[in-house]
Amino acid sequence: MHGRDIPIAIAKALVFSLMIFTVFCLAGCGKVPEEKKILMWLVGSEKQAQKITELGLDFYKQTGVKVSCEAISWGEAHSKYLTSVVGEVTPDIGTMGLTWGTEFGNLGAMVDLNREFPDDLSELTSSIFPGLAGSIRYNDSIFAVPFDMSEYIMFYRCDIIKEPPRTWKDLTSLLSELNSSGRSMIIDWGGMGWIGYSPFLWQNGGDYYDKDMTSATLDSDKALEAMKFFTSLYKAYEVPVENRPVEQSFKIGEYPIFISGNWKMKSLSDIAPELKGKWAIATLPAGPTGKKTGFIGGRVMGIFSLSKHKKEAWEFIKYLSRPDIQIKLYEDTLESHDTYLPPNIKTWNLLPMEDSFKRPLLDQAMDSKGPPSVLGWDDSTRFIDTAIQMVVLKNKDAGAALKDADNELERRIRR
C-alpha cells in the first residue's frame, strides 16, 4: 500500500464505522415497544364474550392495551382452568363461579387483589351487595370480585293471589288455600337441594358454618327447625319434588306462585306475553327472625398469577365494574334468557327496568347471601342435598339427616 493510500483507507474505515453506528442508532430509535395484550376467559355465551371484546376496543383507545375475550362453557370451565394452571397457559383474567376464586387462589393460581391493589379494591367492594362480599373474602384475601349476579325472588299471579305472602305463616296459609283447589307452589332454582334450603336456614337464624368459618353448624336447633319447615312444603303442601315446566305451569294457573332466579322475568315475558300485567315479583317470606334472606349467586373475575400484565388486567376489571359499562353488559344479556344483574349497587340508579320490578329485586338483594367462602364447601353440598332428599322421599328423621350432613361438612373443611 502506498503512503498516500493510508489516509484513504483510514477514511473508508471511519465512514464504514459511522455507517454501522448510524444503522444501530436508527434501529434503536425506530424500535416500537411491544403492544400489551390481555386475554380474558368468560364462562358463558359466545355473544357476551364478543360484547366484552367490543368493549375492549374502547378500553384500548383509553389505555393502549388490547383485550380479547374467549367464551368457555360452564360444563368444561372448572377442568379447563385447572388444566391451564397445571400447564402454565392461563389467561390473564378469568370469570368463574362465585367460590372458585377462593379455591384457585389457595392453590397459588390467582393474584390476591387485597394485597396487590388494596386501595382500589376497597373502593370497588364498597359498592357491591353485602351477600356477594361475604362469598369472595377468604380470611384477609380476595382473589376475585363480582362480575355479575343472580338472585332468588318470588313470582306470583297477581290476578289470582291478591297479596304475596310476607311471612312463613302467610305462605303456609296461602298454600293451604291453593291446595284446596288443586294448586300449589314451585321451588324452581335449587329445588330440593341446598340452594332451595338455604333461605329458610338463614331466615331462621341458622347457617352452615360458625362465624369464623372453622366449624360446621348444621347439627343445631335452628337448622332443624328450618329443615322441618322447608321439607314440610313438599310433604304437606304439595310442592312438587320433580321438575315442572315453570312458565307453562304458571301460565295455566296450576302453580300461580314460584320461587326462582331473576332470569325468569325475561323468560316469562317471552313465553307468556299474554300474562303481562297479571304477574308480579316480591321478596321472599320472612322467617321467625324477621329476615327474608335469599340466595344470591353469580360470576366473579380475577387475575391469574402467571399473567405478565397484572396491572393492565386490574385496570380492565375496574373498567368492567364501572356503572356505565355494567349497564351495557346488562342490556346485552336482555336478548337471552340467561339474564344476570349488576353487582354494583350504584349501577341500579341507572338500570333500565320498571320500578315495580327494580324495587323488590333491590330490596331482596340487600338481604341475600351467597355460598360460604370455605375450602371444602363445593365438595360438601351433595351431602346437604342427600339429607333433604332422605327426609322428603324416605321419611328419614330430619335431625339424624342433618347430623350426618354436619359430620361430612366438618370432615371436609380445609383449614
What is the model's pLDDT at position 414?
A: 86
pLDDT at 35: 83
User: Is the pLDDT score of 79 beyond 80?
Assistant: yes
Task: Tell me the angle at which helices 46-63 and 310-320 cross, rounded to the nearest 10 degrees.
Answer: 110
> Residue 1: its pLDDT value, please?
46
Band (19; pLDDT cuts 50, 70, 90): very low
Q: Is 0.85 surpassed by the pTM of this model?
A: yes
At 5 the pLDDT is: 47
Q: What is the pLDDT of residues 61-70, one digit of tens each?
A: 999 999 999 9
- DSSP code for 31: P
For residues 402 and 29, which has the higher predicted lDDT (pLDDT)? 402
pLDDT at 22 over 70: no
Distance CA 201, CA 194 (A): 10
Q: Answer whether 102's CB lies under 8 Å from 136's CB.
A: yes
Long-range contacts of 84-89 (CB under 8 A, 24+ apart): 84/304, 85/109, 85/304, 85/306, 88/306
pLDDT tens track for 190-221 = 999 999 999 999 999 999 999 999 999 999 99
Question: With 60 as the cut, is the pLDDT of residue 46 above it?
Answer: yes
Average pLDDT over residues 175-198: 97
Residue 336 scores a pLDDT above 80:
no
Ranges of beta strands (E only) in 209-325 are 257-261, 279-282, 294-297, 299-303
Report yes or no: 148 and 329 within 8 Å, Cβ to Cβ.
Answer: yes
Query: Which pLDDT belongs to residue 273?
Result: 94
What integer is the mean pLDDT of 46-54?
94
Compute the distance between CA of residue 115 and CA of residue 122 in angstroms, rounded to an integer.
11
Q: Which domains does the chain have, with CATH numbers?
A: 37-149+298-369 (3.40.190.10), 152-294+379-412 (3.40.190.10)
pLDDT at residue 337, rounded to an integer: 58
Average confidence (pLDDT) over 151-166:
97
Dihedral sign for Cα 385, 390, 392, 397, please: negative
As a whole number, the mean pLDDT across the chain is 92
